[in-house]
């Protein structure tokens, strides 16, 4: 059983539960390592991200929980930093770098909130051409380490969240765009996230990134972490074993975890 998750959300952003509720549930389920990664402030989807003010309260509460439960679980303070968010401050144990938006005509448009919103962006700004959109999206992804200075590259192909089985994800242009991003990112020696968040919300039946992406990451010597992207305590730990099985199928023999002594590899 996998008892670590570094990608979780609380009611400070778009999660359902308080930080305390999440920690208590993690302990109940036998977790040894737990990381909070609230969404950085994003004016495009303000109700779903932390404000600059609530971010400071979030940090203080997580640090207090870290001290309170230090004998039961190792808690880490993280942040999911969006590509277009303002620079973050100090004090975080790790950063997840993600691309949740594209920018057109100076305005940000979310790509993973609802399928209807994404289709509207495609129709209005890309003439319905999903492949052109994907190429632009993956260009941003390929720059996410430069932009966010992240430790973990979050849900690399989140644009497949709502359309898992659609043919547009099998085209050569889409695959080339995704693989080119991977090839640019691997030399940074950061961790690629296998993420099951869309599974816990019944959007997908398998983790992302897609298998062809994970195989290329493995071929190039990239490193992985396995995260839940959990938004409610009842789903904590769900499908993490599915992610581990997918990692093995794609050739990985180890995943990386964060400990009090830093990052270390652990056999899958």
State the DSSP string of 157-191.
Answer: TGGGTT-TT-GGGSSHHHHHHHHHHHHHHGGG--E
> Is it the case that residue 15 has pLDDT exceeding 80?
yes
Asked whether the CA dihedral 14, 20, 21, 25 is positive or negative, the reply is positive
Instruction: Give the model confidence (pLDDT) of 43-85 as tens digits.
Output: 777 778 999 999 999 999 999 999 999 999 999 999 999 999 9
Q: What is the mean pLDDT of the chain?
A: 96
Residue 1 pLDDT: 80
Q: Is 4-267 assigned to CATH 3.30.460.10?
A: no
Which string of DSSP letters, residue by residue, matches 106-157? Answer: TEEEESSS-HHHHHHHHHHHSTT-HHHHHHHHHHHHHTHHHHH--SEE--TT
The predicted model scores a pTM of 0.97
The reply to whether omega before 214 is within 30° of 0 (cis) is no
Q: How confident is the model at residue 165 (pLDDT cuts 50, 70, 90)?
A: confident
First to last CA, the chain: 10
Tens digits of per-residue pLDDT, 104-139?
Answer: 988 999 999 999 999 999 999 999 999 999 999 999
Is residue 35 over pLDDT 80?
A: yes
Q: Return the pLDDT at 43.
A: 77
């Amino acid at each position: 059983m996998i008892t670590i998750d570094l990608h979780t959300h609380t009611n400070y952003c778009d999660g359902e539960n308080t930080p305390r509720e999440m920690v208590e549930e993690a302990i109940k389920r036998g977790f040894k390592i737990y990381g909070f990664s609230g969404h950085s402030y994003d004016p495009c989807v303000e109700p779903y991200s932390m404000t600059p003010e609530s971010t400071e309260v979030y940090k203080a509460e997580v640090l207090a929980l870290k001290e309170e439960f230090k004998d039961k679980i190792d808690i880490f303070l993280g942040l999911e930093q969006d590509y277009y968010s303002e620079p973050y401050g100090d004090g975080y144990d790790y950063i997840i770098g993600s691309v949740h938006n594209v920018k057109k005509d100076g305005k940000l448009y979310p790509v993973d909130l609802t399928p209807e919103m994404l289709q509207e962006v495609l129709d209005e700004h890309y003439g319905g051409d999903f492949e052109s959109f994907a190429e632009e999206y993956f260009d941003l992804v390929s720059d996410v380490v430069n932009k966010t200075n992240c430790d973990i590259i979050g849900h690399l192909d989140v644009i497949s969240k709502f359309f898992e089985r659609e043919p547009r994800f099998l085209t050569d242009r889409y695959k080339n765009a995704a693989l080119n991003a991977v090839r640019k990112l691997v030399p940074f020696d950061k961790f690629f996230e296998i993420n099951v968040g869309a599974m816990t919300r019944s959007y997908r039946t398998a983790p992302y990134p897609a298998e062809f992406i994970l195989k290329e990451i493995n071929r190039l010597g990239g490193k992985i972490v396995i995260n839940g992207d959990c938004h409610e305590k009842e789903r904590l730990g769900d499908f993490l074993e599915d992610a581990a099985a997918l990692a093995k199928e794609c050739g990985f023999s180890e995943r990386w975890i964060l400990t009090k002594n830093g990052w270390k590899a652990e056999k899958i």
